[in-house]
Amino acid sequence: MSTASHLIVGPGALGRLLALHLAGSQPVVLAGRRPLPPEQTLLTPEGGHRIHRLTMADSRRLPPLAPAFLHLTTKAYATEAAYASVAAQLPPATPLVLWQNGYQVQPSLSLRHTGPVLCASTTEGAWLASDTRVVHAGHGLTYIGDLDNRYPELCRSLAETLTDTGLQASAVDDIRVRLWHKLAINAAINPLTARYRIRNGQLRDRPFRSMVNQVIEEVAAIMAAEEIPAPEAGWNELVWQVVAGTANNRASMLQDVLAARPTEREAILGPLLAAANRHDIAAPCLIALEAALASPDSHR
């Protein structure tokens, strides 16, 4: 049985970014559902490149492995299926690391998986240029924690490993709050940019600015009811800072809509709408965005 330290399932933008950072110093296996060339190139934000020959595997037929970490880097809507396909092939106590945006898979898999479940919330940015190239668009920060704070040492050790490879990471004891803060940002930016096919910075213009502010108002009320502490600078500042910092970006949800792929709307809007329902809070803007994105016309 191989002692590959990191098994990464989901060889997309984030999975390859992670694999190509870890590969210089750690045993890594990158697993997916379709064959990819083992030689992979990472284009760095500084304009350089790193090439590694990665060990690739079919996620449905893994070689015998006992990894120190199983990283799931699929989109939120594909994560349960990816987990189901690999979990039975691995020792049940294998630590799992969930890299998804939103707050959908984190609570359910934390309950279901028998080993430790760590959650990563990252502001790294990556996109795929081809089957052999991933572009690291911008450096970010990654927070690692588990929902019940049962594995602080494991979180620290993973954060140190990631930082050593060039992905700056910290272990935190409030990952739930951090995931909800990121979800607030994604809820205010992604659905509107996807619905109106605009770049993030255009949200500052009329008529979108007031729509963003209305979404923030609804999100803030839901967060308060869920007892998620507001960021120090307030919800408005949190969102508008990210809009300014990513003004030229096409948000991931817009990219998904343009490429006719499913979006992560359920993982981002779903937990907010469920909480609004639980606390009897009106959320007309979030409901309208969810309905617009759920409609088959959203991809036209």
Ligand X SMILES: CC(C)(CO)C(=O)C(=O)O
**Binding footprint of ligand NDP on the chain (CB under 6 A):** 9-15, 32-34, 59, 73-76, 78, 81-82, 85, 99-101, 122, 124-126, 128, 252, 264
| Distance of closest approach, residue 111 Cβ to ligand NDP, in angstroms | 19
- Closest listed residue to residue 120, CA positions, set 45, 172, 160, 186: 172
Task: Compute the residue count for the chain.
Answer: 300
Which of ligand NDP, ligand X, none does residue 132 bind to, with CB < 5 to 8 Å depending on kind? none
Measured from the CB atom, is 87 or 212 closer to ligand X? 212
Distance CA 213, CA 203 (A): 10
| Distance of closest approach, residue 220 Cβ to ligand NDP, in angstroms | 22
Which of ligand NDP, ligand X, none does residue 251 bind to, with CB < 5 to 8 Å depending on kind? ligand X
Sign of the dihedral defined by the CA atoms of residues 237, 241, 247, 249, in that order: negative
| Distance of closest approach, residue 267 Cβ to ligand NDP, in angstroms | 7
Distance CA 293, CA 291 (A): 6
Which of ligand NDP, ligand X, none does residue 11 bind to, with CB < 5 to 8 Å depending on kind? ligand NDP
Q: Which residues are catalytic?
A: 182
| Distance of closest approach, residue 280 Cβ to ligand X, in angstroms | 29
Strand duo 125-128 + 6-9: pairing: unpaired
- Kindly list the residues in this chain that would bind ligand X in the complex (CB under 6 A): 185-186, 189-190, 200, 242, 246, 249, 251-252
